[in-house]
Amino acid sequence: MGIVSRRSFLKAAAVGVGGVVASPLLARSSPLIRTVSNDVVFRPYPHPQMPPLSFVYAADEVEDPFKSSIEIRKEGIIVPEDFGARRFSVNARWYIHGFGYVWLSADNGGRYFT
């Protein structure tokens, strides 16, 4: 790698800062997770041959299910605001083409949702 000129460094730094500043704005406009009246909406994208999703449940950090008011609507899986600061994952029976059904847990990469 050659010597970096001051001009190229400042140009790269400006692009990086612009990306960091724009990232919260881009995260809010994500089509996968969006908020509607403080409820979180998960928008699943199932295989075309998968029957409609009819059952989901919430589980705590040790994967024990608990009673919740999660709903499945036309918009997606609705997680109400009443969960508060409780950490949870959303679980559903999911169809995988060529394999069959599995129980899929959406747990935010092991960090769980709050």
Summarised one tens digit per residue, pLDDT across range 25-80 is 555 555 555 555 688 899 999 888 888 998 999 999 999 999 999 999 989 999 98
Tell whether 24 and 53 lie within a shared domain: no
Tell whether 25 and 37 lie within a shared domain: no
Q: Please tell me the pTM assigned to this model.
A: 0.62
Tell whether 79 and 45 lie within a shared domain: yes
Domain that holds residue 114: 31-114
C-beta of residue 51 within 8 angstroms of C-beta of residue 100: no
What is the structure's pLDDT at 27?
57
Q: Is the pLDDT of residue 17 over 90?
A: no
Helix segments in 1-108, DSSP class H: 6-28
Tell whether 20 and 70 lie within a shared domain: no
Which one has a higher pLDDT value, 20 or 64?
A: 64
What's the rounded Cα separation, in Å, for the pair 85 and 107?
15
| Confidence band of 103 (pLDDT split at 50, 70, 90) | very high
CA dihedral 16, 18, 23, 26 (to 10 degrees): -130
Tell whether 38 and 26 lie within a shared domain: no
What is the structure's pLDDT at 21?
64
C-beta of residue 48 within 8 angstroms of C-beta of residue 9: no
Tell whether 19 and 44 lie within a shared domain: no
| Confidence band of 2 (pLDDT split at 50, 70, 90) | confident
